[in-house]
Amino acid sequence: MDLELGGRTAIVTGGSLGIGRATARELAAEGATVVITARRLPLLERTAKELEAETGGRVVPYASDTNDTESVRAMVRRVADDLGRIDILVNGAAAPSGLVRNSVEEADPELLLADINTKVVGYFRCAQAVTPHMKAGGYGRIINIGGLTGRSSHALSGMRNLAIVHLTKALSDQLGPSGITVNTLHPGVVETEHIHELYEKEAAKRGITAADVEADFVARTPIRRILEAVEIAQTVCFLASPRAAAITGESLGIDGGLTRGIFL
């Protein structure tokens, strides 16, 4: 299927690692010009070179900090000036798994605020900055990377993912008349650079091994395996395409069936 992404320009925040990197790779392979952005420019530059070699596409590294409004606005202005258009925003810059996963007695309110500032307000900063450019072009796709903790109660940091769902729906109402769609994806347990850190933390809390934690996730997942980052990225590419024009305001779990809730 041709996703008709050739000639489009995409910004992927948190694009140097994990799901962000996989997303940038797939978008570039589909013919989009991809800007990857995060705080560490050397890592971005190395990633961009690797992805260009792998895909034959154009991947551009720009440093920015989504915690800083002016940094985000400067990055978006630079993309618009250098590349002439902005069609797609993939919001993925956040602390993996959240900063607050302990009990209320031990939780640090400042870390909770940091989680919300980075993932909720940071996503908003980016969406706000790209909106005028998408409106001017008559086309826009905003895809927010959430997380399954927004659908459960076992981690206080999960409130950030719930807030992203609200943000997604509110923006989809506002931006739909301008040809801009906004959706959220909730990845399940995905093989990334950070997942083994989560296994170790969970193992320490439960008094078991990291291998036991991974095996437990696999056993509770109906497809009986950990997901690959490319599986999230391929769904992002579809939602970024003209073929997904009728899908907006939605939150989709890509979790191999791990979610036990029923969502109407």
What's this model's pTM, rounded to 2 decimal places? 0.94
What integer pLDDT is reported at residue 158 of this predicted model?
Answer: 85
If you average pLDDT over every residue of the chain, what do you get?
93
Q: Which neighbouring-strand residues pair with 9?
A: 33
What integer pLDDT is reported at residue 148 of this predicted model?
Answer: 87
Q: How confident is the model at residue 100 (pLDDT cuts 50, 70, 90)?
A: confident
In three state form, how does the secondary structure of the chain look? Answer: CCCCCCCCEEEEECCCCHHHHHHHHHHHHCCCEEEEEECCHHHHHHHHHHHHHHHCCCEEEEECCCCCHHHHHHHHHHHHHHHCCCCEEEECCCCCCCCCCCCCCCCCHHHHHHHHHHHHHHHHHHHHHHHHHHHHHCCEEEEEECCHHHHCCCCHHHHHHHHHHHHHHHHHHHHHHHCEEEEEEEECCEECCCHHHHHHHHHHHHCCCHHHHHHHHHHHCCCCCCEEHHHHHHHHHHHCCHHHCCCCCCEEEECCCCCCCCCC
Phi-psi region of 216 (alpha: psi -120 to 50; beta: other; left: phi over 0): alpha
Helix 69-83 × helix 122-137 angle, to 10°: 30
Residue 162 to residues 54, 132, 141, 144, 207: CA-CA distances in angstroms? 35, 26, 20, 12, 29
**Which residues, 6+ apart, have CB-to-CB distance to 209 below 8 Å?**
203
Q: Which tens digit of pLDDT belongs to each residue from 179-211?
A: 999 999 999 889 988 888 888 888 888 899 989
65 within 8 A of 88, measured Cβ to Cβ? no
What integer pLDDT is reported at residue 198 of this predicted model?
Answer: 81
Mean pLDDT of 161-182: 97
Q: How confident is the model at residue 85 (pLDDT cuts 50, 70, 90)?
A: very high
Question: Rounded to an integer, what distance in angstroms lies between the CA atom of residue 7 and that of residue 87?
Answer: 10
**Which residues, 6+ apart, have CB-to-CB distance to 86 below 8 Å?**
9, 11, 76, 79, 80, 130, 133, 134, 137, 140
Q: How confident is the model at residue 161 (pLDDT cuts 50, 70, 90)?
A: very high
